[in-house]
Amino acid sequence: MQKAVFFDRDGVINIDTEYVYKIEDFVYVDGFLDLFRSCKEKGFLLFVVTNQSGIGRGYYTLDDFLKLSAFMQSDLNTRFGFCFDKIYYCAHNAESACECRKPKSGMIEQALNDFDIDLSCSYIIGDKESDIEAGINGGIKTTILFNRYNAKSKADFIVDSLYKVNSIIN
Q: Any idea which residues carry the catalytic annotation? A: 8, 10
CA distances from 45 to 18, 61, 93, 108, 162 (A): 27, 28, 28, 13, 18
Contact 13, 126 (CB under 8 A): no
Sign of CA dihedral 170, 110, 113, 135: positive
Our CA angle for 33, 143, 36, nearest 5°, is: 15
Contact 149, 36 (CB under 8 A): no
Contact 100, 110 (CB under 8 A): yes
- Contact residues for 97 (Cβ-Cβ < 8 A; gap 6+): none
